[in-house]
Structure 1
Amino acid sequence: MALPFPIDEPFLTGYYAPIHMECDAPNLPITGEVPKALRGTLYRNGPNPQFAPRGPYHWFSGDGMLHAFHFDEGRVSYRNRWVRTPKWIMESANGEGMSGSLTHRHLTDPALLELNSTTANTNVIWHGNRLLALEEAHAPFEVDPFSLEPRGYHHFEGKLPGKMTAHPKCDPLTGELVFFAYAARGPFTCDLMLHVADREGRLQRSLHLAAPFPSMVHDFVVTRTHIIFPIFPLTGSMERAQSGRPPYAWEPDKGTHIGILPRNGTAADVRWFVGDPCFVFHAMNAFDDGEHIVCDMMKYDVPPLFPRPDGTPVGNESPQAQLVRWTFDLTGNTTSFSERLMDSRSGEFPRLDERFAMSRYRHGYFNSAPVTEGVKGHDARGGLAHIDLTTGRTAEWLPGIGDYCSEPIFVERHADAPEGDGWLLSVVWRGSENRSDLAVFDATDIAAGPIALAHLSHRVPAGFHGNWRNALS
């Protein structure tokens, strides 16, 4: 029998509460006018647990649910489906939850542990004519791009030996997919594996690297010439995991280590830079600047959602991230790097016009609120921000109190449009109505508010990441 979800878990209530249904809405009501040139599908992914967990819940642990918004001739349709992973199927057959969360894996049923299933709950990408649902501890899980029905794990024709990051980088010039895995040769090890697939999705290259210590490496960045691996002191420990203590915990004494590798280099070519302890979940972009590497990152002084090794919180307040620019001098003898604050507001989920990924760029977009702001419910709100990285000017749109925007996704007006000329898409939770809208903004003037809203009759739970697939791709 399925048990009720606990009411005292902040990431199982309000904006974060799971929905218990799958549905299709072929023609959503529209306020305003959806541009007819906007043709394609916005896919979003996020945790939506099928059953209540065993023990305390961690937001990162819920079953993946995909939300697909399809645009055609000014109309918007919607479909949502759980990603039917092996875990989802086993728990569905069992009729109740069998898993402990990310921080309480010792409570997971041994049969489910042996299954070693993905949750496929973090990101969703279109590459090599495949739609892949991703999380960072397993191989990608393929789903049908129209029905969202499962097609199973994707191992790149058997050449991917293990797992894949939830944040691969697609080279807009070559179509290559650059990605990696951490703890690649066993749980809580120092091993990193770098992989490169061509535009058709065929694995071309794999390289083993060693990080200074076991760490959660959620994201990385790539330029035209280099790959940058950030190793932060959010450390992994098998001993802690086996003893019921936090598997991942904050150990600031280890500092921050940034490895920079030429894109065609070997493990011996990695150069390590060292900085003060900090944490980054998500990068905006990186690019080459002569003999320098520039990385724009959403930096926390301490990580949210994870404790110290003894389980105590890292602080009394929820940590907040700000957009900073790191610059690395590849010609000097120093191991240090410089940092400049790009915007003082709290933010997360940075994005850009992906046609300019890995290159010098001008326009960036992000959520202008802490990633956990939604736990405040009707007492706060989360908007969207646009930053012009050339002039430093910013623009912001804030919804009503109690409303929260998802990660902003940029869609170009047409293939040859100038950088930043297009639309910004975000799913907005309307807290007072407990339902969501899909908002369409003119990306050149987000402060003016949405030019169109597609109205859902239910809530899309707080999720993580999504991407756009053009209708002709």
Structure 2
Amino acid sequence: MHDPSAPADNQTSLVPRRPRFPDSIHFQGLNTPIGIEASRACLPVIGVLPEGLEGTFFRAVPDPAHPPMFADDNILSGDGMISAFRFHDGVVDFDIRYVRTARYEAENNAQRALFGGYRNPYTDDASVAGIDRTVANTTPVWHAGRLYMTKEDGRPYVIAPDTLDTQGSWSYDGALRSETVTAHARVDPETGEMFLFGYEAAGPCSLDVSYAVVDAQGQLVREQWFQQPYHGMIHDFAITQTHAVFPFFPTTTDLARLQAGGPKWAHEQNLECRIGIMPRSGDVSGIRWFTGPKGASAFHIMNAHDEGDLVHLDLFISETNAFGFMREAGGIHVDQRAIRGAFERWTFDMASDREDFAVTVLGPPGDMPRIRDADCGRAYGKGWYLTMNPQGGPPLPGGPVGAAFNALVRIELPHGRIDLMPLPPGHAISEPVHVPATQPGGSEWLLCVVDRAAEDGSFKSEVWVLDANKLVEGPIARVQVPLPLRAQVHGCWVPADQLP
């Protein structure tokens, strides 16, 4: 770990810098660029940390190191930052570092933005032609003793878990053919295998999708390609014990539009979503395609599991794309507050030749779900996700939709109890990570970053430690962070006994 008494390269003060960024929601509120790398030991704690809470909470945020080339850029283009909250011996240490991607290094050397519009290489400065564009800003993934920072538009970057130093782009020693890897890998809790996909596997706007399996030792053992039904977005996917599930939604890309300098994604409200399901250990030629509702959109999946010939997929659906800049590019102008959605279960009968499926509402709308790692691909009894509490006052500005979540849900499945932990007005909550019980009958925990608006217009950040099954009790400990933390995308928990 870095010496916490020594400042990081640009750490003369833990006060955010204020260069001129665009005047839009993507650079304001909780989306305000911070640009600070830092290390601090023994953060102040309000309350008492649980005994035996030993490990590291890694989290990913996009944080642009330089103002963008275009004023209509969005939060998803920000350079990847990885932070680590290290829980050990009753204290918490903190590190945050940029991911030194090829893109970051090129712009750092030039001291200005060189890459143009969001995921549009045709708008880049000529000097960076052919340089890897990914910012690796979406999800930290831990598997087989390696820590990766991922974003679905490129290959992952390997990060040293103890120092957060960037060790380079990763292609499984050259075995991976796909140019892209999902930010939502799935790891089987019994076999230790990691399942990956990558859309646009052969380059921007290609229909090629890679489906790959990595064994428990971290070796790529299988990669197959198939064609998606149209140039649609697939941000997340799922596995069961016997199947892999690929949901495609009608937020589409177009090569001619990109070449003309247009947006990467535009939502098509009159286009149906498509779901491909295949034997997870089989051949991609065995994919069966199902057809879903027109215009439906989802970014994240809670889980999936088998029940005889049935495959259940639990996901967070909205009637149109929740990201304003994506739906407006498709000519859809709807107030964010008017968009309807729900937590739903889509059930596919693999013994039938029908292309439709059954839909069951499981809970209120929300997103950013979390389950126990041990439940991945299995029938499961509970999960957690974020939602909006309409009685919590105006939400803090932040995230890709411009409004941050202000409540946490615990739900028992399929139709059980729902517990809600609303936050006080002026607070926002990021996706939790789950910490399993360390002994039979012991408590399991959730860790999540909570931001609070201060009177001077700034934001204060804390890590809350919650009893995963007693949300109503609120945090049992609050770890205070010495700088504001930009809106998180995803995180992961790695127990201390798995770390070097």
Class of the TM-score when normalised by the shorter of the 2 chains: over 0.9
Q: Percent identity?
A: 32
Tell me the amino acid that sits aligned with residue 118 of structure 2.
L
Q: What residue in structure 2 maps to residue 253 of structure 1?
A: 270
Q: Measure how far apart 1:427 and its partner are.
A: 0.3
Equivalent residue, structure 2, for 1:13: 28
Q: Which runs of 5+ in 2 are unaligned?
A: 1-16
| 1:215–1:233 contact (8 Å) kept in structure 2 | yes
Aligned residues of 1:3 and 1:96 also touching (Cα < 8 A): no
Aligned to 1:358: 377
88, 91, 94: which is aligned to 1:72? 88
Instruction: Show the counterpart of 1:276.
Output: 293
Inter-CA distance 293–196: structure 2 relative to 1 (3 Å threshold): same
Output the amino acid matched with 1:53.
Answer: P
1:457 Cα offset (Å):
2.3
The amino acid that maps onto 1:466 is: G
Structure 2 partner of 1:131: 147
Shift of 1:380: 7.6
Q: Deviations 1:87-141 (Å, cap 9, x if unpaired)? A: 1111111112222231665442122342123200000011121110000011110
Measured at CA, do residues 320 and 129 of structure 1 come closer, stay the same or move farther in structure 2, by a change above 3 Å? farther
* Counterpart in the other structure of 1:368: 387
Report the CA distance shift for 1:136/1:32 in structure 2 as closer, same or farther (over 3 A): same
| Residue 304 of structure 1 pairs with residue 322 of structure 2 | yes
Which residue in the other structure is 2:63 paired with? 48
Distance 1:279 1:417 in 2: 39
Counterpart position of 2:353: 333
2:121 counterpart of 1:109:
no
What are the equivalent positions in structure 2 for 1:433-448 lying under 5 Å apart?
A: 434-448=459-473
Aligned residues: 468
**From 21, 26, 30, the counterpart of 2:41:** 26
User: Cα deviation per residue 1:40-91 (whole Å; 9 max; x = unaligned)?
Assistant: 0000001000011011121111000011000012211111001111111111
- C-alpha separation in 2, matches of 1:165 and 1:158: 17
Question: What code does the residue aligned with 1:142 have?
Answer: V
Query: Are the structure 2 counterparts of residues 206 and 430 from structure 1 closer, same or farther at C-alpha, using a change threshold of 3 Å?
Result: same
Q: Report the TM-score, using the length of structure 1 for normalisation.
A: 0.94
Q: Secondary structure at the match of 1:427?
A: strand
Are residue 402 (structure 1) and residue 402 (structure 2) matched? no
Distance 2:180 2:447 in 1: 30
Code of the aligned partner of 1:343: G
Contact 2:19 2:67 (C-alpha < 8 Å) held by counterparts: yes
SS in 2 for 1:60: helix
CA distance in 1, matches of 2:403, 2:187: 38
RMSD: 2.2
CA contact (8 A) 2:405 2:430 kept: no
Instruction: Report if the CA contact (8 A) 1:381-1:401 is conserved.
Output: no
Alignment of 1:27-426 (within 5 A): 27-55=42-70, 56-102=72-118, 105-161=121-177, 162-277=179-294, 278-305=296-323, 306-308=325-327, 312-317=331-336, 319=339, 321-344=341-364, 346-369=365-388, 374-375=396-397, 382-414=406-438, 421-426=443-448
Aligned-pair CA distance for 1:311: 5.2
Deviations 1:331-361 (A, max 9, x none): 11211001111112x3110110111110000
- For 2:8, the equivalent position in structure 1 comes to none
Helix, strand or coil at the partner of 1:276: strand
**What is the letter of the counterpart of residue 43 of structure 2?**
L
For the residues of structure 2 that align with 1:359 and 1:224, how far apart are their CA atoms? 7
**1:111 partner SS:** helix
Contact kept? 2:429, 2:448, Cα under 8 Å:
yes
Residues 314, 169 of structure 1: alpha-carbon distance in 2 compared, 3 angstrom cutoff: farther
Write the letter of the residue equivalent to 1:71.
F
User: How much has 1:299 moved relative to structure 2?
Assistant: 0.8
C-alpha deviation, 1:285, in angstroms: 0.2
Residue type matched to 2:168 in 1?
A: G
Unaligned runs of at least 5 residues, structure 1:
none
Q: Tell me, in whole angstroms, the C-alpha distance in 2 between the residues paired with 1:215 and 1:20.
A: 33
